[in-house]
Chains A and B, each alone.
Chain A
C-alpha cells in the first residue's frame, strides 16, 4: 500500500532593512537583550506605529520576484493573543487583504523533475520578541530586540509531494529572494524560518488528508528530516487503524523526534480586525511597475545566460549561480579577460574554497584573471598556480607574475635548461632507460615526473615530453 505526501510550507523571511517595521529601532541581530527598543515596539501607552517604506518596498520586490500579483491596496490587521514577548497583546500582520497573491516558484524535484510550486500569498507583518526559557531557573526572560522587526510571510500551495521536494523548493525560494536583494535568508540568524504542513492520502484521491504543522526547523536538512519523520508517523497511525489529529509538532534536531506542542482545541481565536492605527497600504501601480523593471537578474535568467553565452556545462552553471555573489565574481574574472571555462574552474575550486574559509573572495577578480592567463599561457603550471593563488589571497595587491617569480614558480621552457634536467634524470635511471627502449612506452610518464621533481615543478611538462622522446629515441 502506498501513500501520497502533500506538503505546503509557510516561510518567514526578514527583509534586510536598517530599521524595524513600524519604528526607528535598528533591525539587527545579536545585540545585548532589550537594547534595540523604543516606546513603539515596547507597546507603551500612547505609542503609534508608522510603516517602514523600505520594508514595504522589499516586500513588493520579493512578491515580484516570486511572480505574485501585488495589490494596489492591502490592509494591516491585528492578530490578537496574549504572550509575554508580544508587548501590545497583538501582532500587526496582514490577513484578508495581503500585499500580494498568486505567484510560483520553479524548482527541480528529485523525484518528478522540473515542477512549479504555487505561491498562495505574500504578506507583511512584524515579528514578536523572544522568550528565553533557559536563562534563569524556573523563570522566563524576554528579549524584545526582535520585536517589531519586519517579516514577509510566504505561503506555498499544497503542491509538494515529498520532503526532498520541500527542500528543493526552499533552496529555489531562498535563491530567488537573495538574488532579488530582499533578505540574506539565513536560517542560522533566523532571517528565514520555516513552518511545514504535511498530510498523506491515497494516490488518486482528490481531497486532502488531515494535516499537521511542524515547527522549530532550523535548517533545510532538518526540514527534510522532520517531514520524513512526520510522514512515517502519520502513515504508522493510519496503517495501524488510527487517525491523524490536527496538531502542531516541534522537531527536536538532536533526537530527530517530533513532539506534540498543541492540539487543535487549544488553537487561538486571533480575532483579526483591520488595525485602526494604520491606514490601508496603497501602492501606485506605476511605482510597482518601476520596482518590477528594477528587479535584478533572477537565477533562471542567469543560468540560461551562463549556459548560452559562456557555454558552461550544467554542473558549473549550478555551482556558479547558487549565490549571486559567486556569479558576480565569476563574471568579473571573465570581464577581466579570463577564458570562461578556466575562470569557472578557478572560481569553483580555489575561490569557493576561500569563500568557505573566509566568507569572501580575497583575490581581486583582475588578479585572478591575470593568474589564469599565466596558467593557460604555460608560464605557470596549474599546480604552481594554486600556490600563487594562496599567496595572492594573503597579498591581494601583488601582481601574480611577480608572485610567481618571487616564489620561483615560473615554468622553464628554455631548451638548454630542460635538457640539463633531462640528461641528469636519464643518467640516474639507466635501468628504466633500457626498459623503455625495449618497448615499455608507459615509462615516459615516469621520466616526466622525475624531470618535474628535479626542476621543482618549474619545467613545462608540455615541452619536457618531446625532449624526452627525442633523447630516448632509437
Chain B
C-alpha cells in the first residue's frame, strides 16, 4: 500500500471518530482513496505528498459540494476548482474533507452554520471560534495535520487561538482568491491551519504565488518555505499597548507575559509601541466587510443555481424575497442589511467612505511602526479563551468584539498569525505575530523559534 493510501485510510478512520465535533460538512472514504491514487499517479511526488488537508467549505472543489454552510447553496457543486486547492493537489496533498463554518464565513464561533454548530475538541460545550471553526477543530483533534480556512477579519487566527493550533493569514494577495466564495473581497485571504508552524508554513508556501485568475494577487512567485531560526537575536518585537488593556483576561495576560519573556530569552529586543487607531478596527471592519458582502451575496437569487423558492406571489420580486429570506440565516441577513444601508445614497459618505478613510489610518499606524525599526508585532490573538456556546449569540456586538485584536491586520492587508502560547485553566491561549507587508517568511521563522522555545500546552498560571 502506498503511503498516500495509508494516510487516506487512517484519515478516514479519524474523520469517522471525529463525527461528534460536527466539524465536517462533506467527506467520503472513497473520495479520500481516489485522492490518494491521484497523488500516487503524480510525478514528482510533491512537497505535500500524502498529506491529508481539510478545506473550509467556502472554497470550491469540483469533487465535493460547496455549501458555505448555507441552505441557499445546499447541494451546489462548482464546475471549477479553486487555485489554492489545485496547487495543493499538484503538491501531492489529499483533500480530505469540506469543513463546517459560520454561514458564508460570517461569525466568530461557528454557531451560525445552517448545518449545526461545531464543538470545541476539548469541551463540547465551548465554541471552537470562527468562522473557520470546523478546520480548526479538525486540526486540534488530530484528524488532519493541516487545513485551509479563510480570513476576512480573523476567521483563522481567532479559532486557531481558541483551539490551540497554528493559524497563518498571509498578506492580502499572497494566495489567490480564485475559488474562494467571496465575503469581503478586499479583505478575504485563504489561510492555513497547522499543528505546527512548519506544517502551516508548508501549506501556505504550496498555495501561494501570483495567479492570472485573480487580478488582486501579488505578482510574485510562490513563497519559499521559511528558513528555521534558532533564536530571535537582532529582531525588534513591538508590543502595541492598545492590545494589552488593563482589563485583559488574566489567563491571556499570563500567556502573553510568558511568551514575551521567552522571546526576550531568545535574544529579541522587546519594545512598547502604539497603534492609536487600533480601537477603530472593529467598527471599521463592520462597515466595510458587510458592504462588500451585501454586493457579493446578491448573486444568490434563485435564478440560476442553488436553492430556488418561487414564493407566494410567483413573480420575480417574490422569487428573490423568498429564496433569500429562507435561504440565508439570521447573521447573513443582518450583514446584508447593514451593508446595503452603509452604501445607500445619503449614507455612503458617513459610513463607507469614512470607514475607508479610517482603514487607511489603521494601515498607516502599522507602516509607521514598522518603518521606525520594529520587525514584528506581538499581541494576544483574542481577549479571552474559548467561550461557551450561546454566550454571545444574543448580542452580535459582543460576538464581534471577539475579533478585536485580529481585525486591524486584515484591514491593513498585512501578514499575521496565531500560535499556541500556553493554556489558562486548561484552555488554549493564542499569541499573535503581525508582520509588515511581504513579511511572511520572517514572521514564520520567528514563530518557529518561539514555538520551539515554549511549551504551547503548558498551563500559564
Given the known inter-chain contacts A84-B316, A90-B295, please indicate yes or no for A279 contacting B215, CB distance below 8 A. Answer: yes
Which B residues are CB-close (under 8 A) to A396? Answer: none
Q: Mark B214-253, 1 if CB is under 8 A from A, else 0.
A: 1110000000000000000000000000000000000000
Roughly how many angstroms separate A80 CA and B345 CA in the complex, as a whole number? Answer: 12
Shortest CB distance B372–A (Å)? 28
Q: How far is the CB of A140 from chain B (nearest CB, A)?
A: 8
Say yes or no: B298 contacts A45, CB within 8 Å: no
Is the Cβ of A89 less than 8 Å from the Cβ of B299?
yes
B79 touches A44 (CB 8 A): yes
How far is A142 from B302 in the complex, measured between Cα atoms in Å? 13
B90 within 8 A of A: no
Please encode chain B, from 303 to 316, with 1 for each CB lying within 8 Å of some chain A CB and 0 for all others.
Answer: 11100000000001
Q: Does A241 contact B (CB under 8 A)?
A: no
Number of A-B contacts (CB under 8 A): 99
| CB <8 Å contact, A269 and B344 | yes
Is there a chain A Cβ closer than 8 Å to B291's Cβ?
yes
State the CA gap A39–B73 with chains docked (Å). Answer: 16
Residue from B214, B216, B320, B352 in contact with A273 in the complex, judged by beta carbons closer than 8 Å: B352
Minimal Cβ-Cβ distance residue in B for A43: B299
Q: How far is the CA of A310 from the CA of B68 in the complex (A)?
A: 70
Name the CB-closest residue of B to A88.
B299
Instruction: Check A271 against B295 for contact (C-beta < 8 Å).
Output: yes
Q: Which of B113-121, B126-134, B172-180, B374-382 forms part of the interface with chain A? A: B172-180
Bound-complex Cα distance A325 to B298 (A): 46
- Residues from chain B with a CB closer than 8 A to the CB of A84 are 301, 303, 316
Whether A142 contacts B303 by the Cβ 8 Å rule is: yes
B66 in contact with A45 (CB, 8 Å)? yes
Chain B residues touching A, majority SS: loop
Give the one of B179, B297, B298 with max A CB within 10 A: B298
Question: Assuming A39-B79, A89-B295, A273-B352, is B301 touching A82 (CB within 8 A)?
Answer: yes
Tell me the smallest distance from the CB of A357 to a CB of chain B, in Å.
Answer: 44
Q: Quick one: closest B residue to A268, CB to CB?
A: B345
**Residues in A neighbouring B291, C-beta threshold 8 A:** 273
Known: A80-B343, A273-B352, A276-B186. A45 touches B215 (CB 8 A): no
Task: Give A249-289 as 1s and 0s: 1 = Cβ < 8 Å from B's Cβ atoms.
Answer: 00000000000000000000101110111110000000000
Report the bound CA distance from A276 to B213 in whole Å: 15
Instruction: List which B374-407 residues lie within 8 A (CB) of chain A.
Output: none
Tell me if B185 counts as interface (CB < 8 A to partner A): yes
Residues of A within 8 A of B76 (CB): 45
Give a binary string over A57-84; 1 marks a CB under 8 Å from any B CB, 0 the rest.
Answer: 0000000000000000000001010101
- Among candidates B73, B184, B303, B345, residue contacting A45 with C-beta atoms closer than 8 Å: B73
CA distance in complex: A50, B219 (Å): 14
Hey, what's the 0/1 contact readout for A130-153 against B, CB within 8 Å counting as 1? 000000000000100000000000
**Cβ of A47 under 8 Å from chain B:** yes
Interface size of A by Cβ–Cβ distance < 8 Å? 29
Whether a CB of chain A sits under 8 angstroms from the CB of B161 is: no
Cα of A126 to Cα of B21 in the assembled complex, Å: 45
A51 at the interface (CB under 8 A from B): yes
Complex Cα–Cα for A47 and B82 (A): 9
Q: Is the CB of A273 within 8 A of B295?
A: yes
> What residues of chain B lie closer than 8 Å to A80, measured between beta carbons?
294-295, 298, 343
**Alpha-carbon distance between A48 and B84 when the two chains are bound, in angstroms:** 14
B270-298 CB contact bits vs A (8 Å, 1 = yes)?
00000000000000000000011011011
* With A46-B178, A90-B295 as contacts: A271 and B303 at CB distance below 8 Å: no
Q: Chain A contacts of B295 at CB under 8 A?
A: 78, 80, 89-90, 271, 273
Q: Does A49 contact B (CB under 8 A)?
A: yes
Residues 59-86 of B, flagged 1 when their CB comes within 8 A of A and 0 if not, give 1100000101000010010111010000
B304 engages A51 (CB within 8 Å):
no
Nearest CB on A from B1, distance (A): 35
Q: Which 3 pairs of residues, A with B, have the shortest CB-CB distance? A: A89-B298, A276-B186, A276-B185
Q: Which residues of A contact B (CB under 8 A)?
A: 39, 42-51, 78, 80, 82, 84, 87-90, 142, 269, 271-273, 275-279
Q: Apart from A44-B305, A50-B215, A82-B298, what 17 extra A-B contacts exist at CB < 8 Å?
A: A39-B80, A45-B60, A45-B66, A45-B73, A45-B76, A47-B178, A48-B178, A48-B213, A48-B215, A84-B303, A88-B299, A90-B295, A271-B294, A273-B348, A276-B184, A278-B215, A279-B216
Could you give 25 example pairs across A and B, Cβ below 8 Å?
Answer: A39-B79, A42-B304, A43-B299, A44-B79, A44-B305, A46-B60, A46-B66, A46-B78, A46-B178, A47-B80, A48-B214, A48-B215, A48-B216, A51-B215, A84-B303, A87-B299, A89-B299, A90-B295, A271-B295, A271-B344, A273-B292, A273-B348, A275-B185, A276-B292, A279-B215
